[in-house]
Homo-oligomer: A and B are copies of this chain.
Amino acid sequence: MLSIVIKPNTYQDSVSLMMLSSQLSGLPEVDRVSIMMGTPANKDIFADTGFGSPDLEPAGPTDMVIALESADPSAVALIEEKVAEFIKNQASRSAAATYPRVRSLERALAAEPDANLALVSIPGEQAAPEIERLIDKGLHVFVFSDNIPVDDEVRLKSKARDKGLLVMGPDCGTGSLGGLPLAFTNVVNPGPIGIVGASGTGTQEVMVQIDKAGGGVSQAIGLGGRDLSEKVGAITCLQALRALDADPATRVIVLVSKPPAPSVRARVLEVCQELATPVVAILLGERPETEQDGNIRFAGTLEEAARLAVSVAGPVGEAPAAFAAGQRTIRGLFCGGTLASEAAILIARALDVPTDADHHAGFMLHHDGHTVIDLGDDMYTQGRPHPMIDPSLRAHMIRDAFDDPELAVLLLDVVTGFGSHADPAGAIAPALVEGQEAARAAGREVVVIASVCGTDKDPQPLDEQVRILEDAGVVVLDSNAAAVRHALAVLEGIGASRTAQEVPEATRRLVSETPQVVNVGLPAFADPIQQYGGRVVQYTWSPLAGGNRRLQRILAALT
């Protein structure tokens, strides 16, 4: 038997009601139950899903509608009781939060006059006028809502752009600005990688894999799925790229997208090339034809994009390099022959020069002052043990390297395990500290980058070796390939004297300060913002004029 219960003027957001419907469907007294607000669209869904009934007729958009299928006559009372309990819980849950809760935009802005970001999760059919009001008030808008017509998207984004404001979305699932989690998002370490993402879980996977690889995220800016279409023309994408380029916390930008429309693709990559910040692009479904083209590195999977970004940006906590005039070369002093070889190959490829074919004196690469030396070469092991056993010669050469005024980057391997020295990191640490002190006294600083070829089960445990190196000022990457890639990115940064273009003041503020947020819609989105130290006001939206579109238009014309 089908029963319809209408609870007049009881607004709850649709996600909460769907969750409640899901829960109550599990009760033994219930065959099926669906609870929604009585909007025209929802009434259609009731009809389409077998809950059609003339009793639905009087329900309006601000009325809650319970549609119940059950053979048990006690079921209606039970469900009404559960719904009342749910509404009471929702109210007390809100009472626990300490941020202000208001029912109008004006009151929200009175409570947070410096708010610069709105998070909008109200029904999409009614969201456009609300977003426009927010833009008019000077707020960036993160639009979680979907079902917003594309023409509205173009109009709103264009209007926002003229004011230096970003419209992230619609249908934007994920974001992170100034360390605040927005909507669906993972908690990751803060760090130097900014993300521009046209897809929700794509951005989430990149964030997660960056975190797993020892990196961290500065900002993650969502675009919505249509921003890179011909029609929208990447309005928000281009704004976001330039915003991150101007963000001092961002040292690498990852662009996550399905392949954009061809004309849009060209424009987006053109802007990527102009940025002062290196870009890693993952255009899902495009097989990269080249590893790197100018300022852009291409990845084939979301995981690869994340790992590439970490190797370019370096791990969390690394200070940006500041070289003196004349510092320009890289020197690799390796004890592992194959590690030296891999480094020489990757560096030679990036600099477009040959490796050293003869390997004379252990040189694996020797070009224009750039060198990679295998200290396991016969020349260095005549009458002395291999440098993996006896690090003393390498320690001397490390110390000497700092006296070279052209040296910018010193690249090392540390190999642990049975057979190796009992403390290979400790054996070179004094030379590193002493060398850096001498370089500093001469007004220079050398960036030292290493990887440890070892595990936590080795006789010299990995984390201890890493700590010793880090204490000696070394930037430690997760693998030899990552260390080499990072060294190359640091080297590339020396030549690049480009500075980021100016961005409008409102754009600059978005990436340089912790945003102050008006949360319009789902209360669940406000809590994590406060939990992570953000200022937020909850604006519990309900449809204007009881959801009557004609009345809404008249009201809008009058205000």
Contacts and interface: CB of A to CB of B under 8 A. Distances in A.
Contacts of A356: none
Given A18-B385, A185-B419, A417-B187, A455 B337 contact: no
B208 A454 contact: yes
A524 interface: yes
Contacts of A49: 383
A117 B480 CA distance: 32
Interface string A377-415: 000001111001110100000000000000000000101
A420 interface: yes
A421 B34 CA distance: 19
Contacts of A258: 341
B454 A201 contact: no
Interface stretch (A227-235, A297-305, A505-513, A546-554): A297-305
A304 B345 CA distance: 15
Given A303-B481, A419-B525, A480-B303, A338 B187 contact: no
Contacts of A81: none
A212 B385 contact: no
A469 to B, nearest CB: 16
A209 to B, nearest CB: 6
B346 A301 contact: yes
A184 interface: yes
Interface in A5-21: 15, 18-19, 21
A458 interface: yes
A211 B458 CA distance: 11
Contact of A345 (B185, B187, B284): B284
A28 interface: no
Interface residues of A, number: 81
A262 to B, nearest CB: 16
Interface string A312-352: 00000000000000000000000111110110011001000
A186 B455 contact: yes
A480 B205 contact: yes
Given A185-B419, A302-B479, A383 B341 contact: no
Interface in A496-530: 524-525, 528
A508 to B, nearest CB: 27
Nearest to A419: B184
Contacts of A90: none
Given A336-B201, A392-B22, A184 B481 contact: no
Contacts of A208: 453-455
A203 B161 CA distance: 53
A285 interface: yes
Contact of A204 (B202, B392, B415): B415
A49 B302 CA distance: 55
Contacts of A303: 478-482
A120 interface: no
A416 interface: yes
A200 interface: yes
B211 A455 contact: yes
A122 interface: no
A183 interface: yes
A455 B188 contact: yes
A361 interface: no
A385 B19 contact: yes
Interface string A337-373: 1110110011001000001000000000000000000
A346 to B, nearest CB: 7
A201 B415 contact: yes
A337 B201 CA distance: 7
Contacts of A392: 22, 25
Contacts of A388: 184
Contacts of A482: 303
A396 to B, nearest CB: 12
Interface of A: 15, 18-19, 21-22, 25, 34, 36, 42, 45, 48-49, 173, 181, 183-189, 199-205, 208-209, 211-212, 256, 258, 284-285, 287, 301-304, 335-339, 341-342, 345-346, 349, 355, 382-385, 388-390, 392, 413, 415-420, 453-455, 457-459, 478-482, 524-525, 528
Given A184-B419, A285-B345, 17 more contacts: A19-B385, A36-B383, A183-B419, A185-B419, A186-B416, A186-B417, A186-B458, A187-B458, A201-B336, A202-B338, A208-B454, A208-B455, A212-B455, A284-B341, A284-B342, A301-B480, A419-B524
16 contacts: A22-B385, A34-B383, A45-B382, A49-B383, A185-B417, A199-B337, A200-B336, A201-B335, A204-B415, A211-B455, A212-B455, A301-B342, A301-B479, A301-B480, A302-B479, A303-B482
Nearest first, the 10 A-B pairs at minimum CB distance are: A201-B336, A202-B338, A184-B419, A301-B481, A186-B417, A303-B479, A187-B457, A199-B338, A18-B385, A45-B383
